[in-house]
Amino acid sequence: MNTVVIKCGGSILNELSPSFFASLRELKEKKANIVIVHGGGPEIGEMLQNLQVSFEFVNGLRKTTAEVLEIVEMVLCGKVNKKLVAMLQTHQLRAVGLSGVDDYLLEAKPIDLEQLGYVGEVKKVNEALLQKLWSDGYIPVVAPIGMDENGQKYNINADAAAAAVAKAVRADQLLFVTDVPGILREGEVVKEATVETVQEMMKDGTIYGGMIPKVQAALESLVDSLEEVAIVSGKTTFYSIHGLHGTKIKKGVGVYK
C-alpha cells in the first residue's frame, strides 16, 4: 500500500477516535503516502442558518451563490480544515492544511452555473504539490474548494474531489471514512464485494438509509485506474498489521463474503 486517499465526511469529523489516528500512524510506518479530503456539510448548514442565509439543494448538491460560497469557503478552509489538522498533530501526525485553491491543487470548472451557481468539478489536480508534501513527511489535508484560471472559486463535492485526487495520484486505495465499520449484513461486516453485488445489496435492502449515498459515492469513484475502494470506520481501528478493516469494493463480478 503506497498511496492512500482518505475522504472524511463532515458528519464523522467530531467522532474520530484515537484508534483512527493510530491506524493512520500504522499506515505512515508502512511508508504510505496519505492525503485526506474532508467535507463539512453539517458545519456549513449551521453557519448558513446562524447567518440567516437561505440556500437550496439541486440534485443533491448545495446551490452555491456568491454569498453562500463565501460562507462555505470560510467554514471548510478555516474552521473544519484547521480542526482536522490540529487533531492529526495532537496524535503525532505531521499535517498541512490546504484548499484546492493553493497552487491550483484542484483546478475547477463549473458544472452548471445557471442551475447550481458556483458548484464545480475538478478539471485537473496539481499532483506535484502533493508529492512535495509527501516527500517532506506531511499528510496534506484538503478542503474541497477549487479555482479556475480566472481566479473564480468553486464549491466541490468532497466525494468527487477525493475521487479526482485518487485518480490523479494513481492511488492504491480510496477510503471513505464513515460512522460504521463497513457494509453490514445481518450484523456482520461484509469484507469484500463487487460493484454488482453492492448494487444487489442496495436493491434487497441490505444497504439502506444514510449508507446508500456513501456507497454510491464509493461506486462512482471506481473509474479508470482505480480498481478498489473501501468503506471504513472513523470510530475504530481501520488499519493494523493484519491489513484493512472494513468493506472493500472491487470492480468485476462475483459474490460478497
Q: Check whether 62 is labelled as a binding-site residue.
A: yes
* Per-position DSSP letters for 117-150, written without gaps between them: BSEEEEEEE-HHHHHHHHHTT-EEEEE-EEE-TT
- CA dist., res. 146 & res. 133, Å (int): 19
Cα dihedral sign, 208-57-233-227? positive
- CA dist., res. 110 & res. 227, Å (int): 28
Residues designated as active site: 7, 10, 41, 159, 214
- CA dist., res. 60 & res. 63, Å (int): 9
- The helix/strand count (H/E) of the chain reads as 9, 18
User: What separation in angstroms does the CA of 143 have from each of 29, 30, 32, 68?
Assistant: 25, 25, 21, 16
* Strand duo 173-178 + 228-233: pairing: parallel
Q: Check whether 155 is labelled as a binding-site residue.
A: yes
Q: Which helix (H) or strand (E) holds 106?
A: strand 106-110
Cite the annotated binding site by residue number: 40-41, 62, 155
Cite the annotated binding site for substrate by residue number: 40-41, 62, 155
